[in-house]
Structure 1
Amino acid sequence: MKYASVIGDSIIRFYADYVGIKDRNELTTHLKRVQALLNENNQTYRCIDEFKFAYSRMCDRFFYPGLIEIGKTSSPLLIDLGCCAGVDLRKLMLDGYPVKSLVGVDLSARYIECGYELCRDKDKLPIRFLAGDIFDESFLSLHGQNNNNLNIYRHKASVVHAGSLIHLFHSTQRISQFLQRVCCMLLKGGLFVGAHVASNRTTSVYRPSRGHTKQYIGIDTFRSLLESHDFSNIEIQTSPRLSLEEEEEIDDISIFWVSFSAVYNPPSLKPLSPTVHTTIED
């Protein structure tokens, strides 16, 4: 995908109004420079290659209007897992979501720093970002054994978002472990939303462009995993995903984007209380 095909008028307006870059040539230079900085992280991702880090994709998902409504409630804490440069969170802020109730989490501190560079707002942005591995017990404990990092938000989030993240896990077992950790953060009645690449059935496909075998989760398998972790009211929408030119079609496998939302309804947690106000303290 070429640069010009993804950087449209709305994105140009964002950089003109929020970042202060009004010249299109300057914007092109800026985005390519930040792309190079992101690629210094020794990990290659298609979304970075295609400049998808530069704009919000969350705002085009079917669940986005509902998030804005949650932002108007008394318990609006939203945690964005795998936030990368954090443009989705900035879009939420600009659309009226209470900024002190937004938390970005990424494995890479460099990606978070690149987000500040991308948006030129390190000295003024009040969104809290945390760098760490959610599979690390010291960062997020399944048993609540410490009170730092993500543990301070245990069962306090009304929304957990995972964008372009789930398809990075290499097995259904790892996805199940990830869902366990999502559950650690959600209130009863909280919403788990996101988007990832999936297929019509769970399978492994060799990707010549990357030189490795890729695991794709099937949509029915993903739904079953959500149900097994006490999620209900599951809504899943699909949209086409264009394959890389060097990737061949394999038998009856269809690969597409999945957008989803699901409500966390465990039997043992107290329900979301309208009188509880959850924000991030400075």
Structure 2
Amino acid sequence: MAIDTSVWYKPLIGPRLKAPTRYVFEKWSGRDKAWPLGEYPCVGEWIFLLPSISAFKQFPEIVHRAKEGATILDVGCCFGQDLRRLAAYGAPTESMYALDINSSLWDLGYELFKDADRMKATFLEADFLQENSALSCLDGKTDIIIACQFLHLFGWEDQIKATKRVVTLSRPGTMLIGYQQARLMAREYIRPWGMMFYHNIETFREMWEIVQRETGTRWNVTANLVDLHEWGMEDEDVEWMPQDRMGINFIATREK
């Protein structure tokens, strides 16, 4: 998919940032180095600049828990921008973990943020769905799991498998926080990296019911549909999407 023809690639940031900051990110961020690594919309459309979890009302609670020593895992971490959001509010990076299928985007995160001397999070290179991987060191030990624009990368069956993987990583009190694209009419898509399933609220809840039943755990799951503009996306970011495009924001806390 060539840079100049992809609907997922926006050469300019547009109105997302004020002019001086916009210039820095467009000229200095290394975003164009990241695009060929996967050609993901979250990179091509500058989605990594969105407010993300900092816009959730639970964000102060997450910061507090992080300061108290919570173990935090960011799955599909991209540049590690969400971990750095927490770090900016005083969360210690030593108790943070970042996971991606390869280290390339994580390495570019150090270049983007210029913080190799301060960002002490542990990077884990692994396939999230693979058993007995580097991620296994966190089984039953993770307090906060960040999954932004991640679970929808899988098809229906693999999203169930991925959510069960979240359960394996968790313990009572663990919070999963994230957001992902959705549709009013749930359906699957083929993308260059594989099959994706876009939920609506009904299928998202159905998935969690299946996972809880089959894992014998109980979770308090809150999910709501939002217009993608509420995330900070621009008209040009969504013009290639179908009319029933939406987003899902979700919080799931393990009760037992």
Instruction: Give 1:138's aligned residue.
Output: 132
What pairs with 1:167-182 in structure 2 (closer than 5 Å)? 167-170=152-155, 172-182=156-166
Instruction: Give 2:200's aligned residue.
Output: 218
Is 1:65 aligned to 2:60, yes or no?
Answer: yes
Instruction: Give 1:234's aligned residue.
Output: 221
C-alpha change, 1:206 and 1:132, in structure 2 (3 Å) is closer
Is 1:4 aligned to 2:14, yes or no?
Answer: yes
C-alpha change, 1:120 and 1:216, in structure 2 (3 Å) is same
Q: Which amino acid aligns with 1:5?
A: P
What pairs with 1:256-275 in structure 2 (closer than 5 Å)? 256-266=246-256
What pairs with 1:89-100 in structure 2 (closer than 5 Å)? 89-100=83-94
Q: Output one character per residue of 1:7-57: Cα deviation in whole Å (capped at 9) or x when no partner.
A: 248x94xxxxxxxxxxx64443102xx11110131x211121122224652
- Aligned residue-pair number: 233
SS of residue matched to 1:135? coil
Instruction: Give 1:271's aligned residue.
Output: none
Instruction: Give 2:231's aligned residue.
Output: none
CA contact (8 A) 1:85 1:114 kept: yes
Candidates 141, 154, 167, aligned match of 1:156: 141
Post-superposition offset of 1:159: 0.9
Is 1:87 aligned to 2:85, yes or no?
Answer: no
Instruction: Give 1:50's aligned residue.
Output: 45
Q: Which has the higher helix share?
A: 2
**Bigger Rg over Cα:** 1
CA distance in structure 1 between the partners assigned to 2:25 and 2:162 by the alignment: 36
Post-superposition offset of 1:256: 0.9
- Where structure 2 has 5 or more consecutive residues not aligned to the other structure, the ranges are 1-9, 229-234
C-alpha change, 1:206 and 1:161, in structure 2 (3 Å) is closer
SS of residue matched to 1:80? strand
- Where structure 1 has 5 or more consecutive residues not aligned to the other structure, the ranges are 13-23, 140-148, 267-282
Q: Output one character per residue of 1:176-235: Cα deviation in whole Å (capped at 9) or x when no partner.
A: 10011111111112111111011234224689xx8x985322211112222332343221
Is 1:124 aligned to 2:106, yes or no?
Answer: no
CA contact (8 A) 2:53 2:177 kept: no
Post-superposition offset of 1:61: 2.5
CA distance in structure 2 between the partners assigned to 1:55 and 1:205 by the alignment: 24
CA distance in structure 1 between the partners assigned to 2:242 and 2:200 by the alignment: 19
CA distance in structure 2 between the partners assigned to 1:90 and 1:204 by the alignment: 32
Instruction: Give 1:197's aligned residue.
Output: 181
Is 1:37 aligned to 2:41, yes or no?
Answer: no
Normalised by the size of structure 2, how large is the TM-score? 0.81
Normalised by the size of structure 1, how large is the TM-score? 0.74
